[in-house]
Amino acid sequence: MKTSTASSQHACTFSSVALRDFHSIGISRHYEAHETLLREGFPANHLLIVCSGRVKLTAASAEGRLLLLRVAGPGDIFGLAALHEHTVYRLTSETLSPCTIKSIPRDEFVCFMEVHPEVARVTALALGREYTNAVLTARRLALQTTAAGKLASALLDLSRVDNLDSAHTNLPISFLMQLTHEDLGSMAGLSRETVSRLLARFRREGHVLQIHDRMTLTHPIQMEARYC
């Protein structure tokens, strides 16, 4: 199966030999929207790389409450921490849209790492990104005192996932909103109803525009200053 440009983006930091090997391991597969890829608590035996589409990563409590930690896109890797520590997955991953996902079995990846020591570098970088993201989530949950602050910073984070370049300008940022109010709630630690009310308020105040699936933050900097 053809290896996508997305996984190549990662691979491009490898030497040509490592790159060739990287393309030869694992298999790519297509998934529909709303399929579950990995389940929290299961032994980590595969590493996944998003080639195309979007995947949400969540943690669940015993009572069924959810925490949405991350929306992964093309080029993102997950399952790495659990694989590396040889434990169970800490998060559940679920496709948000149709996706192409490359899956690498644990054994193959371990081999690959042993043959190419440079891979650990890329591993560490990917882990660093996951870490940074988790810290951001924790910050949002703990340091934002108001519900509006939590939701606003969640939206700003989402906008930056799609639009890495134009971060921190005051130009309108628009992005595809593939999350339901419930998802947004579990991202910001709020109830579905609160999200609904706050979005209405943001629209009323002109911070947010929504046309179908597309959400636009009209002046991100003001929004951040006002609520975060």
Partner DNA sequence: CGGCAGTTTGACATTTTTCAACTCCTGTGG
Partner DNA sequence: CCACAGGAGTTGAAAAATGTCAAACTGCCG
194 binds, among DNA, a copy of itself, none (CB under 5 to 8 A by kind): DNA
Cα–Cα distance measured from residue 153 to residue 61, given in angstroms and rounded to the nearest whole number:
23
Binding of residue 186 to a copy of itself (CB under 8 A): yes
Cα–Cα distance measured from residue 94 to residue 101, given in angstroms and rounded to the nearest whole number:
11
Minimum distance between the CB of residue 149 and DNA, rounded to whole angstroms? Answer: 8
Q: 1, 5, 99, 98: which is closest to 48 by C-alpha?
A: 99
Query: How far from 56 is each of 31, 183, 218, CA to CA, in Å?
Result: 13, 9, 25
Q: Taking the CB of residue 220, how many other CB atoms lie within 10 A of it?
A: 24
Q: What DSSP string runs through 103-134?
A: EEEHHHHHHHHHH-TTHHHHHHHHHHHHHHHH
| DSSP state for residue 80 in the 8-state scheme | H
Q: Which is nearer to a copy of itself, 6 or 91 (CB)?
A: 91
Q: Which of 199, 208, 215, 217 binds DNA (CB under 7 A)?
A: 199
Query: How far from 139 is each of 9, 29, 87, 112, 134, CA to CA, in Å?
Result: 29, 35, 26, 35, 9
128 binds, among a copy of itself, DNA, none (CB under 5 to 8 A by kind): a copy of itself
Binding of residue 69 to a copy of itself (CB under 8 A): yes
Binding of residue 146 to DNA (CB under 7 A): yes
Compute how many residues bind a copy of itself; rule: CB under 8 A: 41
Cα–Cα distance measured from residue 228 to residue 224, given in angstroms and rounded to the nearest whole number:
5
Provide the residue count of the chain.
228
Binding of residue 198 to a copy of itself (CB under 8 A): no
Region binding a copy of itself by CB under 8 A among candidate stretches 18-26, 81-89, 104-112, 195-203: 81-89
Compute how many residues bind DNA; rule: CB under 7 A: 17
Q: Which is nearer to a copy of itself, 125 or 171 (CB)?
A: 125
Site residues (vs DNA, CB under 7 A): 145-148, 180-182, 189-194, 196-197, 199-200
Site residues (vs a copy of itself, CB under 8 A): 59-63, 65-67, 69, 80-81, 84-85, 90-91, 117-118, 120-121, 123-125, 127-132, 134-135, 137-139, 141-145, 186, 189, 228
